[in-house]
Amino acid sequence: SVTPDKDRNIAHARSAIQDAASKGAQLVLLPEIWNSPYSNDSFPVYAEDIDAGADASPSTAMLSELSRFLKITIVGGSIPELSGGRLYNTCCVFGTDGKLLAKHRKIHLFDIDIPGKITFIESKTLTAGETPTIVDTEVGRIGIGICYDIRFPELAMIYAARGAHLLCYPGAFNMTTGPLHWELLQRARATDNQLYVATCSPARDTGSGYVAWGHSTLVGPFGEVLATTEHDEAIIIAEIDYSILEQRRTNLPVTKQRRGDLYQVVDFQRLNSQ
């Protein structure tokens, strides 16, 4: 659960991570925007300069310290980041030595207008990230997306093509799109790409300006929901077995059956680096 009290949010996340690690978690995933309310008014106020060191970013300093101390990998949800005068919605990944392994800035901003239901324009305050993020960790190769990024199948396909075992999406879907799309999209990304998908949402707070759907989930490579929760705060712990990926890909060899002669997704980052 996330409140307007940033110090409390950091302390609360700290104790939840410790709790998960004490139950055996080797990889911990946090929700989207966990140190701040999810609102355009809040992003500039709660933003931290992640690259400017621990004093400028108490939220990521805590994640780094805990990942080193507990010797776990942390996919640190996301926080508002201030960098070069711009704001981003940013996920930091820390390795077991506490080092920052990767930083993903939400690529697709959440600009939607469903009249009478929900209007949210992240681009009022935030700038979109420019790079897909795939990272090698002690618990596998992980592709990162943040919330709205999950709606873009090409990003997940590129991660799969680059050998991802797991996609992590911190996300805060809402009461309109959440019931219809949240689980559907996770299962679609997992099924299309035959890999694991993990999501983590803030708990639902009906008193806040943006009401999150909740329902953090782990989906397996056959599209099966392996673990999930409701909308109240919870810690879900589940086992991930990467040996199943090969089995599923042998059972259902869609990657080999793809008709690259008829259609292709272009990985511009790879193309430009060649």
Ligand X SMILES: NC(=O)CC(=O)C(=O)O
Which active-site residues does the annotation give? 32, 106, 147
Grouping H, G, I as helix, E, B as strand and the rest as coil, residue 219 is strand
Residues in region 51-110 near ligand X by CB under 6 A: 110
Nearer to ligand X, 141 or 181 (CB): 181
Residues in region 107-146 near ligand X by CB under 6 A: 110
Which residues on neighbouring strands pair with residue 162, listed in sequence order? Answer: none
Binding mask 219-238 for ligand X (x = CB under 6 A): --------------------
Distance CA 34, CA 51 (A): 19
Shortest Cβ 215–ligand X spacing (Å): 12
Alpha-carbon dihedral angle through residues 61, 62, 68, 69, given to the nearest 10 degrees: 140
Distance CA 23, CA 223 (A): 26
Nearer to ligand X, 110 or 196 (CB): 110
Shortest Cβ 185–ligand X spacing (Å): 8
46 is a contact residue toward ligand X (CB under 6 A): no
User: Quick one: three-class SS letters along 128-161?
Assistant: CCCCCEEEEECCEEEEECCHHHHHCHHHHHHHHH
Of residues 259, 169, 253, 263, the one with CA closest to residue 218: 169
Q: Assess contact for 161 and 205: CB atoms under 8 A.
A: no
Nearer to ligand X, 61 or 128 (CB): 128
Nearer to ligand X, 148 or 159 (CB): 148
Candidates 137, 174, 186, 191; binder of ligand X (CB under 6 A) is: 174
Shortest Cβ 186–ligand X spacing (Å): 12
Grouping H, G, I as helix, E, B as strand and the rest as coil, residue 48 is strand
177 is a contact residue toward ligand X (CB under 6 A): yes
Size, binding site for ligand X by CB under 6 A = 9
Pick the piece of the chain touching ligand X (CB under 6 A) from 69-77, 171-179, 191-199, 217-225.
171-179
186 is a contact residue toward ligand X (CB under 6 A): no
Q: Assess contact for 75 and 60: CB atoms under 8 A.
A: no
147 is a contact residue toward ligand X (CB under 6 A): yes
151 is a contact residue toward ligand X (CB under 6 A): yes
Phi then psi for residue 114, to 5 deg, are -115, 95
Shortest Cβ 183–ligand X spacing (Å): 12
Phi then psi for residue 202, to 5 deg, are -60, 155
Residues that bind ligand X (CB under 6 A): 110, 147-148, 151, 172-174, 177, 181
